[in-house]
Amino acid sequence: MNPPTIRIDMDDKKTWSPESSSDPSAYEGDMHHVKRNFTRRLTESFKRDPNASVTRSSFSAADSHGYDAEAAAQATALSPLLRRLKGRHLQMIAIGGSIGTGLFVGSGKALAYGGPASVLLSFSLTGVMLYCTVQALGELAVLFPVAGSFAAYSTRFLDPAWGFAMGWNYAMQWLVVLPLEIVSASITVDFWDHKVGLNAAWVAIFLILIVMINFSGVKGYGEAEFVFSIVKVSAVIGYILLAVLMNIMGGTDSQERPNGSYMGFRLWHHPGAFHNGFKGLCSTFVTAAFAFAGTELVGLAAAETENPRKTLPTAIKQVFWRITLFYVVSLLLVGTLVPYDDSRLLNGKSSADAKASPFVISIQNAGIEVLPSVMNVVIMISVLSVGNSSIYGSSRTLAALAEQRQAPSFLAYIDRKGRPLHAIIIASVFGLLAFLAASSNQQDAFNWMLALSGLSSIFTWGSICLAHIRFRKAWALQGHTLDELAFRSPVGVWGSWVGVVFNVLVLIAQFWTGFSPVGFRQDSARELVINFFQAYLAAPVVVIMYIGYKVFVRTRIVRTRDMDLFTGKREMNIKTLLAEEKADRLHWPTWKRVYKFLC
């Protein structure tokens, strides 16, 4: 007779079918087992991953300066985050990751301050800078697909103190962006329903939705971003086609009534291509830099990608098409359809108010009834996408900081589903700040929260480029060649220098426009001080964190000859693999070679 334990196991594996029994109790009994097993699996999935404990013991002996950089690199390399993101997820994150309110709504404020030529120039040059930055990030992330890549690269190739400042800078950016985006999503509902009392209800709905997506794991995040990005990309492509038709047939007469005349670049002559001179141009550079925020998430996701060596280069190449098609072409067309002196561009009550979107305004000017509502739906989805990325970006960064002992150790908790559980909970709790929307001081609270994240992306991009420059120098000094790299930045070190210089120029422009903004009145000194600190608050916060950590932990700038170029490398026989792929490419047809070169 079989032991009872075996019989129980067999019972657990049974499945009910109509042929197996006509007795309903058999189905109910099996459903009881299914429910019990589901509950047990769900409960156990939140338990700590046993592999996560290795990262806590890796710091058993710190160096004489109080920080063990080698152990930190090992901790991020051995992070138990699951590799569940596929190539299609990464590609859509790269293509649609930064398409959001910065493009759909923020571009309206840039148009009002600088004119259409300034918008086109600033977004194009910022796109070139970001292309160089993402290429540098791709080279580092393919070779070292480690958790919390931005801060980890700064810690590894620059200075652990700078890595600490960059990690917390990036985490704070997303932590405060989450409640802002949730409130913005609730405000998009005002486009149809002006009942203010419903805002708190929409805040709760959107917050629960975003939290549920992130608690479903990295694959849930990837699938959600895949859908969000498809919607955003489709909307931009559809708008470009519509804008061409509106430009050809969407002119107005002296009473601003549609008369079906060709517009061309009429608005570039009257009211003009530029506005507010050089200061107006600088202000649009700042807006353009903020609009591209989130592009670097493709590098953060490398640690959770099935095969970063193959999927990351393909995703990185998508940046060129996003910059060219989605930003440059769409904003060129917007500048031919909406004059910079349109009062509606500055009348938005939030960064997601569709009424201030030049995309919506251009459609309204053409007299099309339904499409403004469609664009508002796209703006809502874009806001939710940014909120979704907020929890993902902040939780992964906090977990990586904890792995390197630069944050409380409980944040390094990774459960059996590969979720940084405690970090996700902390990020989700920050979302409750969105209920400040019901407060009388909501505008002041949100302005200061936004100030904390205002310059975060600029520091992040500059640090990526600088880390790439230092890495290349160490790579050559330690006897390696560029042929050993699985992915090589096509713009090389010079591209990274362009990124560093451009980001410094944007910081200078932000300082100037913060100290003396467009339209500043000489009699409003108090408003000037408040505006400056709200525009530049992130800079002193970063400096204080860097100096404080450096003094307390006594870190040193990492010397080139001492850089660890081994820990975290995924491919040890890269030369053989690259040779095989090169031989395989010789048999590709011409169309495939062209496609792979471009995409």
pLDDT for 375 equals 83
What's the total number of domains in the chain? Answer: 1
Cα distance between residue 333 and residue 322, in whole Å: 16
Residues of the chain with pLDDT under 50: 1-28, 53-65
pLDDT for 270 equals 85
pLDDT for 25 equals 47
pLDDT in tens, 409-435: 888 888 877 788 888 999 999 888 888
Whether 589 is covered by a domain: the verdict is no
Cα distance between residue 186 and residue 199, in whole Å: 6
Contact between 47 and 419 under an 8 Å Cβ cutoff? The reply is no
With a CB cutoff of 8 Å and minimum separation 6, the contacts of 345 are: 108, 109, 111, 112, 338, 356, 358, 361
pLDDT for 81 equals 64
Cα distance between residue 285 and residue 513, in whole Å: 10
Whether 342 is covered by a domain: the verdict is yes
Chain Cα centroid distance, residue 274: 30
Whether 324 is covered by a domain: the verdict is yes
Cα distance between residue 562 and residue 582, in whole Å: 33
pLDDT for 1 equals 46
pLDDT for 58 equals 43
pLDDT for 164 equals 92
Range of the domain at 164: 62-515+525-568
CA-based nearest residue to 541, from 459, 424, 465, 442: 459
Whether 468 is covered by a domain: the verdict is yes
Q: Evaluate the CA torsion angle 493, 494, 495, 496 in order and state its sign.
A: positive
Q: Hey, what amino acid is at 27?
A: Y
Report the run of H or E that residue 348 belongs to, with start and end.
Answer: none
Distances in whole angstroms, Cα of residue 297 to Cα of each of 293, 303, 564, 584 = 9, 11, 24, 31
pLDDT for 305 equals 74
Whether 574 is covered by a domain: the verdict is no
pLDDT for 15 equals 38
CA-based nearest residue to 160, from 562, 576, 540: 562
Contact between 76 and 147 under an 8 Å Cβ cutoff? The reply is yes
Whether 248 is covered by a domain: the verdict is yes
pLDDT for 6 equals 39
What's the CATH code of the domain at 313?
Answer: 1.20.1740.10
CA-based nearest residue to 96, from 377, 530, 476, 386: 386
Burial class (CB in 10 A: 0-12, 13-18, 19+), 321: middle
CA-based nearest residue to 161, from 562, 565, 548: 548
Cα distance between residue 122 and residue 110, in whole Å: 10
Whether 243 is covered by a domain: the verdict is yes
